Amino acid sequence: MTKRKYGMALSLMLAAGTLLSACGSSDSESGSGEKAASDFKVGMVTDTGGVDDKSFNQSAWEGLTKFGKENKLEEGTGYKYLQSAEAAEYQSNLSTFAEAGYNLTYGIGFLLKEDIKKVAGQYPESHFALVDDTLKSENLDNVASILFNEEQGSFLVGVVAAKQTATNKIGFVGGVESPLIKKFENGFKAGVKAVNPDAEIVVQYAEDFNAPEKGSAIASTMYSQGADIVYHAAGGTGNGVFTEAKNRAKKGEKVWVIGVDRDQHQEGMPENVTLTSMVKRVDIAVEEVAKQAKDGKFPGGEEVVFGLQEDAVGIAPTMDNVTDESKTAVEEYKQKILDGEIKVPATDDAYKEFEKTLK
């Protein structure tokens, strides 16, 4: 099947009217199996970062909650999440929703890929959606793969970091080193270098999305070694980056954090250490695919991609600490990306090629 893209306009459609029908069986491609709104059930399984990680999982739950409320579904029966305390729970949590007759179950995060693959094969009449990875090549018509162009949004916050660093040293903290988080890293580095080729960028991975103490320790080292801005793509681990920055700010040190996935301005308060955030609208994606499943148009076997063109990644709306010069630069580079003048690197090899264009 073809790769499809959906934008903000689609998200606005979600609020435009009442959704009347749904398909919760494997014959969704024909649009049959209509259900009353109250019969549709959608579940969500988090990774170990938890539903209140103030980042990725939380954004997904906000999208599912919005969908549930707009369709008058009851939380706990019509829409619900199961939080995974450890990776061993992914499969059982996914199976719980399938066995309970849920029409659609989300696996939030690439760490659930293999478990969704197994459970989707065991329950071919249930629909699943994997966020941040793809199972398209597995020919599973009951699984939709939701992807984002994270490198594009990360490029733009890299532009801000390059413009506003006072030390010319910038850090990146990743959760688990993987092709997904590499997209954040390489896009960010490209944005920094495009504006300031002489800036030094230090990178470290915590190898965990739910270890704020590791995030704090890594950030402490980076700040101590001269970095004044740190971008995290680490889920709950990133909360530790904010803690470290706020502790230093209390002592009069001028350091910044760039948040991820949602507007994390509040996470930097009351010390106001959030420079900006790279917003990744997981909420829009979750809401949109749920709508399609309910309307009998579930994109099974397909990749559904959200990027800069769809306003699904970019700079957070809170711009208090972003200078006018930075804002202008962001708009200029955003247009270059949209026009195809800049192809933002998502992998290490692509980043090396990108660096060559700056010399």
Domains of the chain, start order: 4-148+281-310 (3.40.50.2300), 150-280+323-354 (3.40.50.2300)
10 has pLDDT over 60 = no
Q: Is 144 helix (H, G, I), strand (E, B) or coil?
A: strand
Euclidean distance between CA atoms 278 and 259, whole angstroms: 6
How buried is residue 346: exposed, middle or buried, by Cβ count under 10 Å (0-12/13-18/19+)? Answer: buried
Res 19: pLDDT: 33
347 has pLDDT over 70 = yes
15 has pLDDT over 60 = no
DSSP secondary structure letters along 182-199: HHHHHHHHHHHHHH-TT-
Give tens-digit pLDDT for 180-214.
Answer: 999 999 999 999 999 999 999 999 999 999 999 99
Average pLDDT over all residues of the chain: 90
Euclidean distance between CA atoms 32 and 100, whole angstroms: 21
Mean pLDDT of 235-249: 97
Q: Is 155 helix (H, G, I), strand (E, B) or coil?
A: helix
Euclidean distance between CA atoms 305 and 313, whole angstroms: 11
Res 38: pLDDT: 62
Euclidean distance between CA atoms 70 and 290, whole angstroms: 12
Res 2: pLDDT: 42
Euclidean distance between CA atoms 260 and 234, whole angstroms: 8
Beta bridge partners of 342: none
pTM for the model: 0.82
Give tens-digit pLDDT for 23-57.
Answer: 333 333 334 344 555 689 999 999 988 898 888 89
Euclidean distance between CA atoms 273 and 45, whole angstroms: 31
Beta bridge partners of 104: 42, 127
Confidence of residue 359 (pLDDT cuts 50, 70, 90): confident
